[in-house]
Structure 1
Amino acid sequence: MKKFLTLFFCMLWSGLLCSQDLHLSGKVTAATGLPIKNVSISIIGQSRYSVTDSAGMFSIYGLKPGVYEVNFIHIGYQKKVQIAVVATVDVFLTITMEQRQHQLKEVSVRNKRGKIRGQTESMNIEVVGSEFIQRNLGGSLMQTLDRLPGINTIGIGSGQSKPLIRGLGFNRVVVVDKGVKHEGQQWGADHGLEIDQFAAGEVELIKGAASFLYGSDAIGGVIDIKPRAIPGKNTFGGAVDLIGKSNNNLYGTSANLFARKNHFFYDARVTYQNYGDYRVPADQVFVYDYAVNLKDGRLRNTAGRETALHFNTGYIKDRFRTVFYLSNTYSKSGFFANAHGLEPRRVDTEMHDRSSRDIQMPGQEVNHLKLINRTEYSVAQHRLQMELGYQHNFRQEFSQYVNHGYMPPAYPDTLNIPADLEREFDKHVYSVNLRDEFKVGKHLLTAGVNAEYQHNRINGWTFLVPSFNQLTAGAFIYDKYELNDRVLLHAGMRYDYGSVRLFEYQDWFPSEGATGTAGGKLTRANNLKRRFGSVVWSAGINYNPEHFVLKANLGKSFRMPIAKELGANGVNYHYFSYEKGDANLSAEQSYQADLSLGWDAENWSVLITPFYNYFPNYIYLNPTAYHDYFYGAGNQVFQYAQSKVMRYGGEFKLRVDLLKGLSSEFVGEYLYARQLSGDKKGYGLPFSPPVSGMISLSWSPVFGRNLDDTYFAIDYRIAGKQDRIVPPEKKTPGYTVINLQAGTKINLFRQPVMHSLQAQNLLDTKYMNHTSFYRLIELPEAGRNLILSLKIPFH
């Protein structure tokens, strides 16, 4: 590690001394003074280019003294050419662009930015903006994004979900919010992400290993959620979002207010959603062969409500900016009453069926507080960035007390734990990220360090995962080398260090007669401290002629085992299983090869992105032949183990413009996973999505001045059967689903009011989603759902 850090700082210092080229920067605004985002800037005759950020700022490094013609291009604005004289000092330009009379659709701007990001990164990156989120609003941000190939979700009822990227999820996918890694209790399949999708600006999805930039858990991919754009100077305004859903009778609103004078701004948002039990196209389901009747097809006790508060403020100048983000997200929701606990038949159906909107036990309450500061400073040829973050994730699960094993039949009054508090997790997280981006000749270098400390404590009358402290730190350097105007080479290296300390836990009740207790209390978890370290790397190439796209990337990634994998020892009431960790697990290593091949023409485009992935020591939960009767109520024992795993697959996307305003798209994905060693040799991996595809047809007619951005779309989704499973998973038959979308922007009193209507599962099809949390009990997906959303901005 010392040799690596010495080399790292030597390279950083040499970059500071040698990067003496000049720097051209500036700001692009409209005639109204508002900044323009995603303006493409290029220097005629050179392979230098940039794109403006949300504040209209851009930077081009590595220039020699001279006179340059600079192009400024943005769809909807007149092209502008500016002469820049770069002599002996850095130059700052202020550019004003004039709007055209007829603007193209805003979605085209988003696609341009995604294309530029794809051309400059060797990783498989997809970028979607707030327009995509508005058009595809789901029950959560992850459900909104699962329309994209390679992105799936583990659905948890109608309001919660977890992301899967190419079949990997949980702690193998990093979710970044405003530059800081989001940390909740993401190890559980029933633990959703505490993210307000109305507050998201742009979302960047990285498919495949990205540990060399993001650290340990990015072994499967990254979902990077960007904040909304900073308001322009001398502006005041906001927006009100309204949403309603028919399936679970959801109603909600999100109100935003912002203002900026000169350098200071504020941006506030309040979001509230309330929903009832959601409906499936079935009157009866089977929970482990026990028939459960459903009233009106509704899953009793799946109602919930969510509240989110956001306040952002900061100081913005040309070369310096610092922004503070404060948010608090709270949710209260129920668990499907017949699929939680040790005995699904002990359910008061009469009580639950009185109302579809009440929240009874079993249920959960989650509160996530975040305070993030992002600071950026540009000096000479350097762009210095820093993120500081604090998070407090507080999660409680409630259920009626049910004894099992040696637990007393009646809950003791003397116990200092609420009788309905099944589990509690209280996590505090402190994060720091430091980066420096600078140019040395044709090299664009990024060097940085990251560190994170977690402090997690538990409570409740049951036990699954012990309290723990965790520290991770890493240092990296990433180089983009511009060989010529068509070829870009990439290379990155990183060293990570991590330590986790588990704390001893004893039962609060004696286990008389159990082996090794002598009438005392069983010790579920012992004190344990483990340390992990690894060097990871990535290398790639981009070849970008006029229409052809070729990207290739090789890399190694790393993930240290989490507290649950090391120290679990209890009943998982959501899966009717007994889970045990292994204190001797080694850190996961992953080797991956990615390839992107595409052609982008005027009226059509095609992209194929195959990948190959090999784990020499993949960590998985292995079902054994044993059952625990001491304090597991006879549940089957699942033991964490490691095996060699091979995975390959890819995504496919084809777009064709059929007529003016009429286009068609086909997207598909395929994943094959196989365990090459261990007790489950020959089996696949849990939550592996089946082969699937989607055919869509979109029509964007032009109706007149008061109607803009009108669209109609139909999606036909096809999923194959999934029979490569790991018991106790069950095979899933294939299915087809039809979804409809329509929307328009109505100009009222010079304000655009955006309308969006979706019909999900139009034909009320009964089907099983293999990546659903409730798939284990053969619970079908939600039935027909009409979603109406309105966005009313004001200035």
Structure 2
Amino acid sequence: MKLIYSLLFIFCGLAITNAQKTYTVQGTVQDFHDKTMLENAVVKIGEFSTKTDKTGKFSFKQIPAGQYKLIAKHPDCNDYTENVGVTKDVHLAITLEHHSNEIQGVTIHGNHKNKGSVILRTLDKAEIERNSTENLGNLLSKISGVSALKTGNNITKPVIRGLYGSRISIVNNGVKMAEQEWGVEHAPNIDVNDFEHIDVVKGASALKYGNEGVGGVVILEPANLPKKDTVMGNVRLSGISNGRGGEIGANVLKAWENQWFVKAGGSYRKTGDEYVPHHTLQNTGMEFNSFNFSFGKRSFLQGFDVSYSGTNQEFGIYKGAHLSSPEDFYNAVNFGQPYFLDNFSYDIDHPKQEVEHHIAKLTAYRRFADFGKLTFQYSFQLNRRKEYDIRRGELNELPSMDLRLITHSASLVHLLERSNWSLESGISVGYQDNYPNPATKARRLIPDYYRYDAGAFSVFKYKFNSKLNAEAAVRYDFSRYDSYKYYDSDKWEANYAAIFPQFFVQESGSRTLTRPILDYHNLSANLGLDYKPTQDYEFRLNLSRAERTPNPAELFSDGLHHSAAIMEEGNLNVKKETIYNINLSLAGHFDVMRGLHLEINPYLMYSDSFVNQVPSSVLNTNRGVFPVWTYQQIKARMIGVDADAELSILNNLKWKSGFSILRGADLSNNEPLILMMPAKLRNSIELTLNKPKNFYIALENENTFKQNRFPIRNLPVTFIKDGVEYNETVDFSSTPAAYTLFNASIGANLFKNLNFNFRINNLFNTEYREYLNRLRYYMYEPGRNFVVTLKYNF
């Protein structure tokens, strides 16, 4: 009995002792940037929870000894997490990164907040997943004011309000792409499945990415990293009827609670010859693969990441666009007579492109309580482009163009944030080495050159009150080309010898070797206002002046660009381009049905030094008959309007509409600008249901109007038929007829982790030609296409 009493006494004593081991956990929650105490912050420790008072203080009484996870939350802040050991009374000073006054870019159709004067559009994760087999150009063309410049049906480049190529910057996970973007048929080397959302930006914030994005910046961002110990990813499989192809891809991410991470992903896509209504087009298949890998550690105060991404693409160029006789060229353009049809194949023959692009990046950042945030980034890019012509004999296996472009870039950016303003400033340097391989035994379209860049920028954002924000930015850039280029001696003497005698190096037969060294000093500025008088209305204004260095093609191109099916002639007299922009946005929300959102964006662009490329003649060569496109510098003006509407008819039924119209004028020659996007009207209606989970069914309609404003650039051609010489005119100017397309899609989660999407493009198999397709003279656009995608998430 004594033993039993003794044991009870010991256990009770232990219980009493443990019950007495409780402590106080208290502290403060403040803004990291300006030390402002944050009221109503939620602080949790284990199962206990409280809020901070007006002075930012919190307190927990009688917390038992032990290990706890402490979490602090506040609206518009990143959550704070810390493991706390309670063995005595604890006092904590918690700092949160407070974003409530940060002036960000405006986003529409996405999940980002509408703050600031930047004109921005977003494609969110759902839109990307529904169109996962599309390339970047086709995907972005779903946004009002954005279209696609095509070379055939596989190669597309985004066009933002009439501007494309070097006037559009593409930022891939923080790295501005350098990929011979001067070529109209040089498609971005991007796998859209690597990204969570895609933003199209205009405004002050765009200047930090460089001065060349005068038309806008396309920013591709991966998903945010989870703040917990987890493994997640997905595997997807797609079938594509048009081209009888498919795609497979996977992504995986491992994150640790200590904020380390590693992730990898890749995809492979293959299609054969494309189908247009009633026919297939020979040599229009493609093959694409990509891989990405990254690792690092990201915390609030500091972090780094190392990443690599690479793509490899092979595109067939429609054989019917490369014709050997002037008569065939005349018949194809004037009468739409197609050549090289049917005989479906997966083979990719000449003419074709082979392109690989590699990016390696190192990023590191550190936050200082009073000084702000410093971010350093270095990136390396390698672009290798081979373009194959239809050549004879032993030359047939050699590419007619083999370009290797190496780019080194580094930047240091400082961000200082306070309660009602922020200042972001940075410096950057860049070096490029372009090498056209002489083993092609063909005249080099683009010469050897080195390019050196240095720049500095500053973006200031200020919040006057809850209704009015302002931002201003300025950027200076220096660029130098140091190139070696051969000219035909007669062309050099006629056009440049008297103007640039310092570039002469030596004569070599009928050719003249020169060394052009060209320097450019560019100053760009931007001013924006965002006024929101009520929760339902918003007004944004953006004014900008941007200067752009001419790209290598505008200065140096000389010869056959076979994959574009044109001859190109650069102009060494081209000066830097200056563009002025006015962008206005009016947005409102109205109580119609379950809610109506309207936004109208008028804009004006003017330049007195706009670099314009136009067809000027036809050249009959031993490699075929091709139009000659030359560069000229003109005064130009573009005026346009983008409008979007979204109506919630029911809680689960939405109608969306978008309209764009653009008028471009060549003021120097008193004629319309070439290749301006025709007016477009899009409508869609979508029904969503909770069962099955994430079920949706949608119908889309796209009306493209005939472009009636175009310059007359008809070209003379001579050919002999049945012994008779004909002098004809090739109608290189007339635009295609208007057309209407319908698309349909349906999708749902079949099981907990399995997602299904089915889409039909060109539902009624409409036969049409696209004005912004440089090969529209020779081919129709793709016919009906069924795309089914299964995605397993884990």
Q: TM-score, normalised by structure 2?
A: 0.78
Whole-angstrom distance in 2 between the partners of 1:530 and 1:24: 55
1:676 alignment counterpart? 667
Deviations 1:348-389 (A, max 9, x none): x99996552111111121111110122222211412222211
1:421 alignment counterpart? 399
Deviations 1:469-507 (A, max 9, x none): 112221111111110011001111111111112212379
Matched, 1:326 2:311: no
Whole-angstrom distance in 1 between the partners of 2:482 and 2:53: 53
Q: How far is the alpha carbon of 1:43 from its aligned partner?
A: 12
Q: How does 1:145-294 map to 2 (within 5 A)?
A: 145-207=140-202, 212-261=207-256, 262-282=258-278
Matched, 1:611 2:592: no
Whole-angstrom distance in 2 between the partners of 1:650 and 1:30: 50
Deviations 1:398-450 (A, max 9, x none): 23325xxxxxxx76xxxxx8853211110001112221111356321111112
Q: Which amino acid aligns with 1:623?
A: P
Contact 1:123 1:207 in 2 (8 A): yes
Q: Which amino acid aligns with 2:275?
A: R
Whole-angstrom distance in 2 between the partners of 1:158 and 1:181: 25
Matched, 1:712 2:697: yes
SS in 2 for 1:183: coil
Q: How does 1:454-603 map to 2 (within 5 A)?
A: 454-459=432-437, 460=440, 461-505=442-486, 521-523=509-511, 526-544=514-532, 545-574=534-563, 576-601=565-590, 603=595
2:743 alignment counterpart? 739
1:290 alignment counterpart? none
Whole-angstrom distance in 1 between the partners of 2:404 and 2:40: 45
In structure 2, the gaps of 5 or more residues are 1-32, 57-71, 79-90, 99-105, 333-337, 489-496, 498-505, 714-731
Q: How does 1:76-155 map to 2 (within 5 A)?
A: 91-92=95-96, 114=110, 116-119=112-115, 121-155=116-150
Whole-angstrom distance in 2 between the partners of 1:628 and 1:113: 47
Whole-angstrom distance in 2 between the partners of 1:418 and 1:30: 71
Contact 2:542 2:584 in 1 (8 A): yes
Matched, 1:302 2:284: yes
2:761 alignment counterpart? 760
Q: How does 1:615-630 map to 2 (within 5 A)?
A: 615-624=607-616
SS in 2 for 1:248: coil
Q: How far is the alpha carbon of 1:117 from its aligned partner?
A: 3.9
Whole-angstrom distance in 2 between the partners of 1:746 and 1:343: 55
Q: RMSD in angstroms over aligned alpha carbons?
A: 3.8
Q: Which amino acid aligns with 1:547?
A: D
Could you say if the C-alpha distance between residues 263 and 662 of structure 1 is closer, same or farther in structure 2, counting changes exceeding 3 Å?
closer
SS in 1 for 2:275: coil
Matched, 1:721 2:703: no
Whole-angstrom distance in 1 between the partners of 2:345 and 2:190: 25
Could you say if the C-alpha distance between residues 558 and 124 of structure 1 is closer, same or farther in structure 2, counting changes exceeding 3 Å?
same
SS in 2 for 1:773: coil
SS in 1 for 2:672: coil
Q: How far is the alpha carbon of 1:595 from its aligned partner?
A: 0.5
SS in 1 for 2:186: coil
Whole-angstrom distance in 2 between the partners of 1:277 and 1:578: 26
1:701 alignment counterpart? 689
Whole-angstrom distance in 1 between the partners of 2:657 and 2:52: 33
2:792 alignment counterpart? 792
Q: Which amino acid aligns with 1:161?
A: T
Deviations 1:737-778 (A, max 9, x none): 11111111123xxx4211111111000001111112322x15
Could you say if the C-alpha distance between residues 268 and 170 of structure 1 is closer, same or farther in structure 2, counting changes exceeding 3 Å?
same
Could you say if the C-alpha distance between residues 759 and 520 of structure 1 is closer, same or farther in structure 2, counting changes exceeding 3 Å?
same
SS in 1 for 2:269: strand
Whole-angstrom distance in 2 between the partners of 1:725 and 1:710: 44
Q: TM-score, normalised by structure 1?
A: 0.78
Whole-angstrom distance in 2 between the partners of 1:165 and 1:245: 28
Structure 1 window deviating more from structure 2 (122-131 vs 572-581): it is 572-581
Could you say if the C-alpha distance between residues 112 and 695 of structure 1 is closer, same or farther in structure 2, counting changes exceeding 3 Å?
closer
Q: How does 1:775-786 map to 2 (within 5 A)?
A: 775=776, 777-786=777-786
Whole-angstrom distance in 1 between the partners of 2:632 and 2:205: 24
2:103 alignment counterpart? none
Structure 1 window deviating more from structure 2 (581-590 vs 153-162): it is 153-162
Whole-angstrom distance in 2 between the partners of 1:375 and 1:178: 14
In structure 1, the gaps of 5 or more residues are 1-18, 34-40, 47-67, 75-86, 95-109, 283-296, 403-409, 412-416, 508-515
1:513 alignment counterpart? none
Q: How far is the alpha carbon of 1:329 from its aligned partner?
A: 0.7
SS in 1 for 2:183: coil
Could you say if the C-alpha distance between residues 691 and 93 of structure 1 is closer, same or farther in structure 2, counting changes exceeding 3 Å?
closer
Matched, 1:434 2:422: no
Structure 1 window deviating more from structure 2 (756-765 vs 539-548): it is 539-548
Structure 1 window deviating more from structure 2 (228-237 vs 361-370): it is 228-237
Q: Find 1:448's aligned residue among 407, 426, 450.
A: 426
SS in 2 for 1:585: coil
Q: How far is the alpha carbon of 1:593 from its aligned partner?
A: 0.5
SS in 2 for 1:583: coil
Whole-angstrom distance in 2 between the partners of 1:88 and 1:398: 66
Q: Find 1:388's aligned residue among 378, 386, 389.
A: 378
Whole-angstrom distance in 1 between the partners of 2:43 and 2:744: 37
Whole-angstrom distance in 2 between the partners of 1:330 and 1:743: 30
Contact 1:211 1:557 in 2 (8 A): no
Aligned length: 677
Whole-angstrom distance in 2 between the partners of 1:89 and 1:32: 18
Contact 2:227 2:259 in 1 (8 A): no
Q: Which amino acid aligns with 1:742?
A: I
Q: Which amino acid aligns with 1:449?
A: I
Could you say if the C-alpha distance between residues 92 and 497 of structure 1 is closer, same or farther in structure 2, counting changes exceeding 3 Å?
same
Q: How far is the alpha carbon of 1:533 from its aligned partner?
A: 0.7
Whole-angstrom distance in 2 between the partners of 1:708 and 1:696: 21
SS in 2 for 1:667: strand
Whole-angstrom distance in 1 between the partners of 2:121 and 2:53: 26
Could you say if the C-alpha distance between residues 159 and 212 of structure 1 is closer, same or farther in structure 2, counting changes exceeding 3 Å?
same
Whole-angstrom distance in 2 between the partners of 1:522 and 1:156: 34
Q: How does 1:15-30 map to 2 (within 5 A)?
A: 22=36
SS in 1 for 2:139: helix
Q: Which amino acid aligns with 1:274?
A: K
Deviations 1:10-48 (A, max 9, x none): xxxxxxxxx865597999999999xxxxxxx999999xx
Matched, 1:336 2:318: yes
Could you say if the C-alpha distance between residues 623 and 632 of structure 1 is closer, same or farther in structure 2, counting changes exceeding 3 Å?
farther
Whole-angstrom distance in 2 between the partners of 1:755 and 1:575: 37
**Larger Rg over CA atoms:** 2
